[in-house]
Structure 1
Amino acid sequence: MVDEVIEVNPEAASIQTHLGILQNVIQRMASNSSSSKAWCVTLVSAVLVIVADKGKPDYAYIAFLPTLVFAALDAYYLALEKAFRNAYNEFISRLHNKTLTETDLYSVAPKGNMSELQWQSFKSFSVWGFYVSLAVLIFITKIIAIG
Structure 2
Amino acid sequence: MSSPSLLTEESPSVQAHLQIMQGVISRMADNSTASKAWCITIVSAILVLVADKSKPEYAFIALVPIFLFLALDSYYLALEKAFRDSYNEFIGRLHSQMVGSEDLYSVVPRGNMTKHQIDALKSFSVWGFYVCLGVMVYLAKELVL
**Same fold, TM-score > 0.5, yes or no:** yes
Superimposed CA distance per residue, residues 80-138 of structure 1 (whole angstroms, 9 cap, x where no aligned partner): 00111001100000001112243321311111100000000000000000000000000
Is the Cα–Cα contact under 8 Å of residues 40 and 66 in structure 1 kept in the other structure?
yes
Root mean square deviation of aligned Cα: 1.3
Shift of 1:5: 7.8
Q: What are the equivalent positions in structure 2 for 1:16-55 lying under 5 Å apart?
A: 16-55=15-54
CA distance in 2, matches of 1:56, 1:6: 70
Say which SS state the counterpart of residue 104 (structure 2) adopts.
helix
Three-state SS of the structure 2 residue aligned to 1:67 is helix
- How many pairs were matched up? 143
Matched to 1:56, the amino acid is K
Matches within 5 A, 1:63-78: 63-78=62-77
Looking at structure 2, the residues matched to 113 and 98 of structure 1 have their Cα atoms a distance apart, in angstroms, of 26
One-letter amino acid matched to 1:53 = D
2:49 aligns to what SS in structure 1?
helix
Unmatched tracts of structure 2, length 5 or more:
none
Distance in 2 between residues matched to 1:98 and 1:6, nearest whole Å:
10
Equivalent position of 2:113 in the other structure: 114
Letter matched to residue 102 of structure 2: T
Does residue 92 (structure 1) correspond to residue 91 (structure 2)? The answer is yes
DSSP-derived class of the 1:11 partner: coil
Please report the TM-score for the alignment, with normalisation by the length of structure 2.
0.95
Give the letter for the 1:100 counterpart.
V
- Alpha carbons 1:5, 1:99 under 8 Å: kept: no
Q: In 2, are the aligned partners of 1:5 and 1:100 still within 8 Å (CA)?
A: no
SS in structure 2 of the partner of residue 100 of structure 1:
coil
- Matched position secondary structure for 2:143: helix
TM-score normalised by the chain length of structure 1? 0.94
Q: Does the CA contact (< 8 Å) of 2:50 and 2:59 recur in 1? A: yes
Q: Which runs of 5 or more residues in structure 1 are unaligned?
A: none
Per the alignment, do residues 120 and 48 of structure 1 end up closer, same or farther by CA in structure 2, a change over 3 Å counting?
A: same
Give the 3 Å change call, closer, same or farther, for CA 5–32 of structure 1 in structure 2: farther
**SS at 2:99's partner residue?**
coil
Specify the alignment match of 1:59 in structure 2.
58
